[in-house]
Amino acid sequence: MDAATAPHRIPSEMPQYGEAKRVFEMLQNMLEQLLIHRPEEPIPFMIDYLQQNNDNVPKIVVLGPPAAGKTTIAMWLCKHLKSNLLTIENLIAKDFSSQAADARRHYQKMEGWILDGIPATREQALMIQALGIIPRHVIALSAPDTVLIERNLGKRIDPRTGEIYHTTFDWPPESEIQNRLVVPAGISEPETAQKLLEHHRNIVRILPLYPKILKVISADQPCVDVFYQALTYVQTNHQSNAPFTPRVLLCGPVGSGKSLQAALLAQKYSLVNVCCGQLLKEAVADKSKYGEVIQPFFDKEIAVPDGIVKKLLCQRLSQLDCVRRGWVLHGFPRDVDQARMLTGRDHTPNRVFFLNVPLDSIIERLTLRRTDPVTGERYHLMYKPPPTMEIQARLLQNPKDSEEQVKLRIDQFYRKCAELEQFYEQAITVNGDQDPYTVFEYLESGIINPLPTKVP
């Protein structure tokens, strides 16, 4: 392909489809399995792999010391995710290679698998990897040894169901279950201390094998809290290695901080900062053909028609810097019709954020803004007050920053906000009423990580 024609203008639907269907990850996983198994006939192997369609099923490892609750968490995850629970006890084997083979058969099923306490050593972990059993999420539970020893002494097991109970924290209300509970072997204090020592020796050699998929969760809290932290983690997608050009849309009422966040994102990720209002002003200042059309609307202080805005905006988003580096857009669209207009011109954003800020905070942000007519310096009576009384005396307020005008503009935004949120189904709502750099971290996380999967 002729390098002189680069960068090639790839329609936005192509990368959007690739990200939505996780095509890059599917091909990456298939290649990984191909290299692990090295079949004589690679084409039938790949066809069989694709037909299994198990890239998105649970592949989870739950590790932890004795009495950390890993079996309980693994069982709850298994029930919630409708997956297969694999433990040392339920894998019929004499040695670990047979266990791995059994796990591998489960691995190929549609339901996926959850390994409880496996691998227990680094050697087991390496053997699992060599057999092509690759977890997607690894959860490591941790708690102080004193807590674990005390917790282990109260452990009881229902021999009929395998459910684990505790004399203090989780005692069954039914007398029938209480009567059949038994004390498991090996829970005395010396035995537990020995097992903890062995766990600490092994876990420090296991965890470095899973640096990018590991989540350490404190087990020294209510079991339900541990479970929901684990469930939240296993339902997230890891950061992808797929090529990605951000096309970010920031929505929110006036005063929600869109301009500041757009500037921060543009600075860190070299995105093109596209402010719709600024674009219109620049067109007028440059006296371009669009500027001549826009000028009368500015003179009369009325809204510029959507058709003109669309043409000017699409022209900007089609320029080479936006195509190559990506962009962050704010100030447009303001309603569903404008959003459809933007999508129809092959400028669909792949990340949409709604900045949510309470009315009182917006009023405080905007109505206290002032400008020095002599120097042009901008001040805020609360956050950036003028240094002298002389400067404060000559400060002016923009008529648009009056409380009445601010409330009117906010009301106009929220009248159309609900429809806009429905149009952008995968939009992420962010609390904009906090430190700007905290808001930026949330936006950054939403950009660099895959879109969250909606779990029924």
Q: What tens digit of pLDDT does each residue of 2-26 get?
A: 444 555 566 666 777 777 777 888 8
Who has greater pLDDT, 104 or 164? Answer: 164
- Peptide bond preceding 211 in cis form (omega within 30 of 0): no
d(CA 329, CA 279): 11
- 406-430 confidence digits (pLDDT tens): 899 889 888 888 899 999 988 899 9
Q: b or e along 321-352 (b: 16 or more beta carbons within 10 Å of the residue's beta carbon)?
A: ebbeebbbbbbbbbbbebbebbbebebbbbbb
The dihedral over CA atoms of 241, 38, 85, 77, expressed in degrees to the nearest 10, equals: 10
Which of 270, 273, 244, 253 lies closest to 261, judged by CA? 273
Which residue, chain included where needed, has tokens 């021999």? 159
pLDDT band at residue 249, thresholds of 50, 70 and 90? Answer: very high
CA distances from 254 to 99, 298, 308, 328, 340 (A): 60, 19, 22, 17, 22
Residue 302 has pLDDT above 70, yes or no: yes
- With bands split at pLDDT 50, 70 and 90, how would you rate the model's confidence at 341? confident
CA 399/CA 407 separation, integer angstroms:
13
The answer to whether residue 92 scores a pLDDT higher than 70 is no
Q: How confident is the model at residue 105 (pLDDT cuts 50, 70, 90)?
A: low
Instruction: Give the position of tokens 């792949």.
Output: 350
Model pLDDT, residue 175:
87
**Contacts (Cβ under 8 Å, ≥6 apart) of 278:** 331
Of 304, 256, 301, 258, nearest to 279 (Cα)?
304
Closest CA to 356 of 428, 287, 451: 428
CB 261 within 8 A of CB 440: yes
